[in-house]
Amino acid sequence: MSKLIDGEKLAAPLCNAIEERLAPLRQRQGITPGLAVVLVGGDSASERYVRKKQVRAEAIGMNSFVHRLADSVNNRALLTLIEQLNHDPQVHGILVQLPLPPQIDASRVIRAIHPDKDVDGFHPLNAGLMATHGNALIPCTPLGCLMLLEHHHGDLSGQRAVVLGRSNIVGKPMAHLLLRQHCTVTIAHSRTQDLAALCRQADILVAAVGRPRLVTGDWIKPGATVIDVGINRIESDGRTRLVGDVDFVTASEVAGAITPVPGGVGPMTIACLMLNTLRATCRQHDIPVADDIVTN
Ligand SMILES: Nc1nc(=O)c2c([nH]1)NC[C@@H]1CN(c3ccc(C(=O)N[C@@H](CCC(=O)O)C(=O)O)cc3)C=[N+]21
């Protein structure tokens, strides 16, 4: 049986460390980091995640501003709101919850966010800086995965990593982060041939494809570290359940260590959003960025 990688257990001390940095910011500089979350429409999963972000931000003493827009909103109205938030000195981080409705040009919306306030790290400037090892805001989910990996796997140098999924928000940035830690990285996706055989070569396997229980035990190299980014809602026995991209039961018999869903990557994503908001705040006020909290 493999070791369980507990996301809550690593997220809690990270959030505490962030919280400790807020008091001196407030007392000495009069600054309270502010996170603005823009939610378009009323998707129940999105509502839930936005609520988690808001609750966590407030719990550690940040300001949180949630802007709700109708599902029918047009590009102009959304871009106007972002422009307003870009100029608002109370707002240090802006997150536009994805997915957006089809009439919205998501790429244009992401590009409208000021790169210094882009706490998702989705702006092409931040994506490019990360790819070239510059000083970027790094997407929260891959950053959280990397922290879990470094904590449980130790030095990643020379390890064979396979990232399943090539999205701009998880797969691609994850591959860049692993490369930066000197892994040998392969990005696999829906057109990859012999997916199972490829995955079996991985010392580190990160699954981020949104396919419930795609990765079964026979895809995993014995002893490998498995990070499950998937959050799929499925119906079973008349109830809605949350399952990952990894079939936990069979995978945990083979893997050396594995994240559960829920309680794995999710809590780290939220904690890294808090970290990015703190970093963005420091940068905007020319305060040395709190890089000693974590080094990556
Ligand atoms: N601009 C943008 N940035 C995002 O970071 C972003 C987004 N859009 N759209 C949706 C995805 C999804 N996401 C999650 C965050 C936390 C949990 C989380 O806390 N999950 C818990 C509980 C899950 C549950 O109970 O539903 C867990 O896995 O233990 C899940 C998913 C952020 N996303």
Pocket test of ligand 1: the residue of 48, 269, 276, 277 to mutate, having most ligand atoms within 8 Å of its CB, is 269
Contact 193, 114 (CB under 8 A): no
Between the CA of 266 and the centroid of ligand 1 the distance, in Å, is 6
Q: Domain coordinates of the chain in residue numbers?
A: 29-126, 140-266
Domain 140-266, what fold? Rossmann fold (3.40.50)
Neighbours of 129 (CB within 10 A): 17
Q: Do the domains 29-126 and 140-266 sit in the same CATH topology, yes or no? A: yes
Q: pLDDT tens-digit profile of 250-295?
A: 999 999 999 999 999 999 999 999 999 999 999 999 998 766 776 4
CATH code: domain 29-126 is 3.40.50.10860
pLDDT tens digits, 147-161 = 999 999 999 999 999
Supply the residue whose CA is at minimum distance from atom 30 of ligand 1.
266
pLDDT at 293: 74
What would the pLDDT profile of 7-57 be if each residue is shown by its tens digit? 999 999 999 999 999 999 999 999 999 999 999 998 999 999 999 999 999
Q: Which atom of ligand 1 is nearest to the CA of 8?
A: 29
pLDDT band at 133 (very low <50, low <70, confident <90, very high): confident
- The answer to whether the CB of 120 is under 6 A from ligand 1 is yes
DSSP label at residue 5: -
Point out the annotated binding site for NADP(+): 165-167, 231
Give the full edge-to-edge strand order of the sheet including 204-207: 3-4, 257-258, 225-228, 204-207, 160-164, 184-188
> CB within 8 A of 23, min separation 6: which ones?
61
